[in-house]
């Protein structure tokens, strides 16, 4: 059972989730982290939505227009057929050398055949549905106004009968119509032709963007959909990459692991940039690097693990008590207290992305010098703090430990700094940093290895397995053929893999034993099995995991072990970047001969 049957639309400024029945159940305007306009996702009674209501004779299907982020929901009852093409406008304007990406949602209603009938439920609820939102008919548009705490408003433009829309009366469709939800009152008249123009321009934008992505012998569709999703989670204004488009979707129904993911985690974003860069999308990588440069003005300033998408450093967490939560899973949180945590792994992950940026893409000398300055600052931070305990990749909210993953990424930070120094011809720094690199590596191999478990474990002196340790080979601290790595992969698989899905870890955390699988961990295991030569097993696991995506190929953060239902914030950048990495690696196992054999069988 999979209840996250949603598609995502967006324009790199904000996004909306559209259910498989064509209902907009989540949208924040004007930006990703603004308060919600529609939040039925978090409270089915008061959250607010924008729906097309049809009778039970209609069959509803949904798909993306191929290689775009334009979502098509098709309503068919015999000969009476119409489609809703949902999108947020985005296209390049040559005259201003910028992108047109307004805080607008356009729902282009395309008449296909017959005289289909529907009614509209337009129920905007501004300010996270707090207080009263009043919807009023105005000349030329419908205005929704909320004056709770402060004034806020939103506008609906349509070619349909406004009175019927507001009253939810039946509309007989005989020609194309349009609906536009806009955060701003429009200056120019909005028409069906205007909406169609924006639809076609946006379509061209997405088709042009995806054309840059390499072709793969297998899993091409899955890679492209994931790439398009990651692009939707990028924020044009600053270069930030969001972890997900939602807040407070629970890791387990009825529990309290509900967090706001509409922020930029340095770890998630750096990993995303590394993957997107490998697909040839240089602009996203450059913008993210500038985001980081802007955030680290002082040479000795510590990096936070996460920031606001507009570079905010304080992300105060609060709960919205008036909302019931997704499927009754309270609390609903906005803000995220994890920003205060110390996680030593972020230095290595960021340094890995900086190194790749310098290797792969041409950069201006100014940019290169700034990145070199950040590199030296990272080395300084790692040198002074790598021996300290931290909260780790999984953000344990109480206990600090010497996590293997954190230590490994401290090694990555120095290793990539040394490699960067070589590229930039800085031999003095290489001589200074090399001993530190070796010291950290020796420390890991001495203290993270458990003779009893015959594996590298979660933390120094621990007997617990942890999926993040699988990344040792990917980051280059150990070879895939090293017996210790092979044993570690098998030990982690044996202890943490359940019915083809992975636990992050099994030891109790601050909230008890997790009852859902963290999706990225299963991708990590598949990649590791592939690396140690178990290709057939890896491919079988991967194909099974793909079948757990929703109807549009999208993944959230978690999957329920029993029901295979998607859980957690959605869509999740972490899950989709891992999908791309794994699919690209597995695709290399498929020769033309292999594909022909498969087709014949």
Q: pLDDT tens digit string along 506-564?
A: 886 655 677 789 999 999 999 999 999 999 999 999 999 999 999 999 999 999 999 99
The pLDDT score that the predictor gives to residue 382 is 95
pLDDT of residue 571 exceeding 70 = yes
Enter the tokens of residue 149: 């705490």
CA pseudo-torsion sign 494, 498, 504, 509: negative
pLDDT of residue 363 exceeding 70 = no
Cα distance between residue 457 and residue 392, in whole Å? 13
Using the structure block, give the residue that is written with the tokens 């992505």. 213
Question: Higher pLDDT residue, 300 or 341?
Answer: 341
CA separation, residue 288 to residues 106, 297, 342, 519 (Å):
28, 15, 21, 24
For the chain, what percentages of helix, strand and coil (3-state, to nearest 5) are there?
35, 20, 40
pLDDT of residue 102 exceeding 80 = yes
Cα distance between residue 466 and residue 360, in whole Å? 31
The pLDDT score that the predictor gives to residue 599 is 39
pLDDT in tens, 189-211: 999 999 999 999 999 999 999 99
The pLDDT score that the predictor gives to residue 358 is 87
Tell me the mean pLDDT in the region 205-231.
95
Helices (H), 44-150: 126-129
- Angle of CA points 68, 71, 72, to nearest 5°: 120
Residues 33 and 52 sit within 8 Å (Cβ to Cβ): no
The pLDDT score that the predictor gives to residue 176 is 98
pLDDT of residue 597 exceeding 60 = no
The pLDDT score that the predictor gives to residue 368 is 86
Least confident window among 65-79, 108-122, 172-186, 372-386 = 372-386
Q: How confident is the model at residue 601 (pLDDT cuts 50, 70, 90)?
A: very low
Q: How confident is the model at residue 592 (pLDDT cuts 50, 70, 90)?
A: very low
The pLDDT score that the predictor gives to residue 85 is 98
CA pseudo-torsion sign 162, 164, 168, 170: negative
Arithmetic mean of pLDDT over the chain = 93
Helices (H) and strands (E) in the chain, counts: 15, 28
CA 144 to centroid of chain Cα atoms: 30
The pLDDT score that the predictor gives to residue 267 is 87
Residues 463 and 457 sit within 8 Å (Cβ to Cβ): yes
pLDDT of residue 3 exceeding 90 = no
Tell me the mean pLDDT in the region 442-467.
96
Tell me the mean pLDDT in the region 324-329.
95
The pLDDT score that the predictor gives to residue 515 is 77
pLDDT of residue 74 exceeding 90 = yes
pLDDT of residue 439 exceeding 50 = yes
Rg (CA), the chain: 25
Q: How confident is the model at residue 300 (pLDDT cuts 50, 70, 90)?
A: low
CA separation, residue 399 to residues 78, 223, 341, 387, 579 (Å):
61, 38, 11, 16, 31
Nearest to 569 by CA among 85, 242, 187, 80: 242
């Amino acid at each position: 059972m999979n209840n996250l049957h949603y598609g995502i639309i967006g324009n790199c400024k904000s996004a909306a989730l559209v259910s498989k029945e064509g209902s907009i159940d989540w949208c924040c305007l004007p930006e990703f982290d603004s308060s919600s306009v529609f939040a039925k996702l978090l409270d089915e009674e008061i959250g607010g939505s924008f729906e097309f209501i049809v009778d039970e004779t209609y069959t509803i299907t949904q798909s993306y227009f191929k290689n775009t982020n334009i979502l098509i929901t098709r309503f068919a009852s015999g000969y009476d057929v119409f489609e809703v093409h949902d999108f947020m406008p985005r296209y390049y304007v040559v005259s201003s050398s910028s992108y047109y990406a307004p805080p607008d949602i356009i729902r282009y209603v395309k008449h296909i055949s017959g005289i289909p009938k529907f009614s509209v439920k337009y129920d905007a609820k501004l300010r996270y549905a707090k207080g009263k939102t009043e919807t009023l008919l105005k000349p030329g548009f419908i205005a929704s106004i909320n004056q709770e705490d402060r004034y806020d408003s939103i506008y609906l433009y349509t070619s349909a009968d406004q009175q019927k829309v507001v009253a939810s009366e039946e509309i007989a469709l005989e020609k194309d119509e349009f609906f536009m939800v806009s955060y701003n009152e429009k200056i120019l008249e909005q028409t069906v032709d205007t909406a169609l123009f924006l639809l076609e321009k946006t379509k061209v934008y997405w088709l042009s963007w995806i054309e840059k992505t390499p072709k793969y012998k297998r899993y091409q569709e899955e890679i492209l959909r994931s790439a398009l999703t990651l692009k939707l989670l990028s924020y044009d204004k600053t270069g930030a990459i969001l972890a997900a488009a939602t807040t407070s979707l629970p890791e387990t129904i009825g529990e309290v692991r509900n967090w706001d993911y509409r922020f930029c985690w340095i770890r998630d974003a750096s990993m995303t940039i590394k993957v997107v860069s490998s697909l040839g999308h240089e602009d996203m990588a450059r913008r993210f690097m500038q985001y980081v440069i802007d955030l680290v003005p002082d040479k000795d300033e510590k990096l936070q693990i996460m920031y606001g998408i507009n570079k905010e450093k304080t992300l105060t967490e609060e709960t919205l008590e008036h909302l019931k939560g997704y499927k009754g899973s309270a609390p609903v949180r906005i803000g995220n207290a994890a920003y205060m945590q110390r996680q030593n792994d972020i230095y290595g992950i960021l340094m890995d992305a900086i190194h790749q940026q310098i290797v792969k893409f041409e950069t201006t000398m100014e940019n290169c010098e700034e990145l070199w300055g950040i590199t030296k600052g990272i080395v300084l931070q790692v040198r002074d703090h790598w021996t300290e305990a931290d909260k780790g990749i999984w953000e344990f909210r109480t206990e600090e430990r010497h996590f293997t993953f954190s230590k490994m990424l401290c090694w990555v930070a120095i290793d990539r700094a040394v490699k960067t120094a070589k590229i930039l011809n800085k031999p003095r720094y290489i001589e200074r940093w090399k001993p530190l690199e070796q010291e950290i590596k020796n420390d890991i191999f001495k203290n993270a290895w458990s003779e009893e478990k015959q594996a590298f474990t979660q933390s120094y002196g621990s007997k617990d397995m942890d999926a993040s340790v699988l990344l040792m080979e990917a980051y280059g601290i150990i070879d895939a053929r090293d017996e210790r790595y092979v044993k570690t992969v098998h030990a982690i698989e044996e202890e943490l893999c359940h019915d083809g899905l992975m636990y992050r870890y099994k030891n109790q955390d601050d909230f008890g034993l997790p009852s859902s699988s963290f999706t990225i961990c299963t991708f990590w295991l598949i990649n590791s099995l592939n690396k140690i030569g178990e290709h057939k097993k890896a491919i079988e696991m991967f194909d099974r995991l793909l079948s757990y995506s929703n109807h549009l190929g999208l993944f959230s953060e978690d999957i329920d072990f029993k029901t295979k239902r998607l859980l957690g914030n959605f869509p999740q950048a972490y899950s989709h970047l891992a999908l791309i990495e794994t699919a690209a690696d597995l695709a290399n196992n498929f020769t033309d001969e292999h594909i022909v054999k498969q087709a014949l069988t």
